């Protein structure tokens, strides 16, 4: 278990008066990102416990929303962007595909995916051509695995997290079975050592060495959804590739949460959803990354015989210059855009572009800087005046700020989850719980405050006592 003073030895330290509301308010007053909270609609305390929604303005007291790791809240820009889209649709119908409307925040529908990809590329550290806004997380994982998982008789194994989110597990299992292989033989699960919650980088590298001769691919989460551990993407990618493994990452919990440099780190492929820290709305359009070296199109043998990485192809992956010729000669868009399938939902893209407009006003460097301090403050208050013997929870998320994002996962003592969850809900605090005893707390730096962190810890300790 961790030393309650450990946070003072990390990147952040706090004074003796840090456990007061006044100190939390002082942090909010000097927060460079404090203005971004006004760009979001915070759900009210009344609405989160009611089945009949109160009209805006009648229940103004906001809840404390620490569930951005599951679903981010709505940006105020969303309504404006959706209205612009609906106005285009109602006014010019099919012409919306090809017409740039003056004073609209949106490009023509045919270019909306590129508009989103350009903004997303800054969030994941890639060139805009390496990113595509399309589909959903699991769909994109299937498409990428269809292109990048090429098992042979000798190299067929896929290395993955032992507690992978079902999207990853089911997708990998089904692709192994599609190739008529046995998942029990071809799936290699990497878990923590006995008594630990964190999977060390060293253990992952050992597994790579152990299975390199038979492994074709490694697919890990950028951040483990349950524990909140942030993996060393750069080091693991470089090492796995040196052992001749293709490297993919599920960035569902890392996108818009931590700084990423997918191009610089030479990642082969990645996929993510955008509705968690990205705030695009429930089931919002996902994204994928394909490194530029895998997206090249070679015309050295003529315009009619392009050479490109095999993938499951679709009409919208074809270059716009020939897309409407309808001659069934596939000429892929260079880069990740060539992995697109069909005409994407303009409504989903509109919601995504609205959320991205907020990120366009800042940077992941600044977001991450606040996130580290916000999470450190949360940890400091949780551990203050407690010992291993008196504390009724363990923080199973790594204490090293470089090994976690905005989430702390609290493993409660047996039998406490329901009473704690009920108390938090009654006070208007929204967190995510995972049976049998984990509360996942995720203060999002764009809209959460230090005062909210202070209030949460006060109510949590009251619930535990």
Dihedral (C-alpha) 52, 58, 64, 66: value to the nearest 10 degrees? 50
253 annotated to bind ligand? yes
19 annotated to bind ligand? no
Q: Cα–Cα distance between 159 and 190 in angstroms, integer?
A: 7
Residues 6+ apart with CB under 8 A from 224: 161, 163, 199, 231, 253
327 annotated to bind ligand? no
Q: Cα–Cα distance between 237 and 262 in angstroms, integer?
A: 10
Q: Cα–Cα distance between 296 and 299 in angstroms, integer?
A: 10
Q: Cα–Cα distance between 239 and 161 in angstroms, integer?
A: 17
304 annotated to bind ligand? no
**Burial per residue of 258-283, b for 16 or more beta-carbon CB atoms within 10 angstroms, e otherwise:** bbbebbebebbbbbbbbbbbbbbbee
343 annotated to bind ligand? yes
Residues 6+ apart with CB under 8 A from 391: 1, 383
CA distances in angstroms from 6 to 3, 9, 11, 191, listed in the order given = 5, 5, 10, 25
121 annotated to bind ligand? no
Q: Cα–Cα distance between 207 and 205 in angstroms, integer?
A: 5
Which token pair is 248? 């993919």
Residue 265 DSSP symbol? T
Q: Is 232 exposed, middle or buried, given 0-12, 13-18 or 19+ CB atoms closer than 10 A?
A: middle
275 annotated to bind ligand? yes
Q: Cα–Cα distance between 195 and 185 in angstroms, integer?
A: 26
Q: Could you tell me which residues are annotated as the binding site for pyridoxal 5'-phosphate?
A: 137-138, 165-168, 250, 253, 275, 315, 343
Q: Could you tell me which residues are annotated as the binding site?
A: 137-138, 165-168, 250, 253, 275, 315, 343
């Amino acid at each position: 278990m961790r030393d309650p003073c450990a946070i003072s030895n990390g990147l952040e330290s706090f004074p003796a008066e840090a456990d007061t509301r006044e100190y939390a308010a002082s942090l909010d007053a000097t927060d460079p990102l404090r203005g971004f909270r006004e760009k979001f609609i915070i759900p009210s305390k009344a609405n989160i416990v009611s089945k009949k929604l109160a009209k805006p303005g009648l229940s103004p007291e906001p809840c404390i929303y620490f569930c951005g790791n599951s679903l981010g809240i709505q940006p105020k820009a969303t309504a404006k962007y959706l209205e612009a889209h609906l106005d285009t649709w109602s006014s010019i119908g099919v012409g919306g595909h090809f017409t740039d409307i003056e004073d609209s925040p949106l490009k023509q529908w045919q270019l909306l995916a590129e508009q989103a990809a350009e903004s997303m590329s800054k969030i994941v550290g890639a060139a805009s051509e390496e990113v595509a806004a399309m589909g959903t997380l699991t769909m994109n994982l299937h498409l990428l695995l269809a292109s990048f998982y090429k098992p042979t008789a000798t190299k067929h194994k896929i290395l993955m997290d032992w507690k992978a989110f079902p999207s990853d597990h089911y997708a990998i299992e089904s692709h192994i079975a599609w190739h008529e292989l046995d998942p029990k033989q071809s799936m290699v699960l990497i878990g923590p050592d006995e008594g630990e919650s964190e999977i060390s980088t060293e253990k992952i590298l050992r597994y790579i060495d152990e299975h390199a001769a038979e492994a074709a691919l490694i697919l890990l989460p950028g951040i483990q959804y349950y524990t909140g551990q942030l993996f060393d993407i750069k080091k693991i990618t470089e090492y796995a590739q040196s052992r001749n493994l293709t490297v993919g990452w599920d960035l569902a919990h890392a996108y818009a949460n931590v700084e990423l440099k997918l191009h610089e780190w030479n990642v082969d492929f990645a996929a993510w959803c955008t509705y968690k820290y990205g705030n695009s709305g429930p089931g919002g359009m996902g994204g994928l990354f394909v490194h530029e070296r895998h997206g090249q199109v070679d015309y050295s043998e003529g315009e009619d015989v392009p050479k490109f990485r095999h993938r499951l192809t679709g009409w919208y992956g074809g270059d716009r210059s020939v897309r409407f010729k309808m001659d069934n000669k596939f000429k892929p868009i260079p880069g990740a855009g060539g992995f697109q399938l069909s005409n994407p939902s303009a409504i989903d893209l509109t919601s995504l572009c609205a959320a991205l407009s907020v990120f366009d006003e800042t940077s992941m460097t600044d977001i991450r800087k606040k996130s580290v301090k916000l999470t450190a403050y949360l940890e400091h208050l949780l551990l203050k005046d407690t010992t291993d013997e008196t504390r009724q929870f363990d923080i199973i998320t790594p204490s090293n700020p470089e090994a976690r994002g905005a989430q702390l996962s609290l493993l409660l003592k047996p039998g406490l989850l329901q009473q704690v969850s009920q108390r938090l809900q009654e006070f208007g605090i929204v967190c995510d719980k995972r049976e049998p005893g984990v509360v996942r707390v995720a203060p999002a730096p764009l809209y959460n405050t230090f005062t909210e962190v202070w209030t949460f810890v006060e109510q949590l300790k009251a619930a535990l006592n």
